[in-house]
Amino acid sequence: MSNKPQPPLIGVSGCRKDIHGIDYDCAGRKYTMAIEQGCQAVPLIIPTAGDALDRQTLLGRVDGLLFTGSHSNVEPHHYDGDDSAEGTLHDPHRDATTLPLIREAVAAGVPTLCICRGFQEINVAYGGTLHQMVQDQPGMLDHRENPDLELALRYDPVHAIEINPDGVFRDIVGCDTAQVNSLHGQGIDRLADALLWEAKAPDGLIEAVSVKQAKAFAIAVQWHPEWKVTENPFYLSLFEKFSAACRQYMDSR
């Protein structure tokens, strides 16, 4: 009989996808692989069921939650934003699932890591607003990926971040600056009052946040640390600290 410790179970936000006329709940393999390899944990895709999802039962079973990136954007009515540009991809089923789930997870002390769209979701969930097109804002860089590059090169680090010396993120990753990738068009405009900025890009755009009064790990980043997580020590350190928080939460239950 094996004495191997039980791995944490980490919920991963799903996206609603129409594939040949049938709805699917999907998550990118890079995220589930990062949970498997970076956290040594078991990923579980959360369906985009909105209020039909029994969130309390889910939160009672998982040891952590990862809110992923996506090609879709949060619908602007959630933060009183202007109508989206024509052709913008939305996922109202995901919005209806993740926005309340983020708040309830953090309140319950479930370790939470948010990436890219998830980063934008946590700001909206707590009452903040978004730039829909960061590249159109005066003085801002173009944070979108270059579609002409092959996939692997799109995820290469392209700019530095300055880490807040008074935040919690510095203790998590153990450095004052780092290089990160950038594959997003939206970004934080007004930071929610409940959040603390943890890192900024050279143009001042907020790149990482934490929840000020969180009971446990509650960190969000704009870049994609899940990409080849085991090959990047900076990215891996974030997933390892997330994993440790999930294991601690699992043991406490």
| Residues known to be catalytic | 116, 224, 226
Handedness of CA 27, 28, 32, 34 (dihedral sign): negative
In this structure, the chain runs to a length of 253
Sign of the dihedral defined by the CA atoms of residues 168, 7, 25, 145, in that order: positive
**Considering Cα of 142, then 85, then 184, then 74, what sign does the dihedral take?**
positive
CA–CA distance, 67 with 45 (Å, rounded to integer): 10
Give the pair of three-digit tokens for residue 120.
């934008």
Locate 204 and state its tokens: 């001042």
Calpha distance 158→155 (Å, rounded): 8
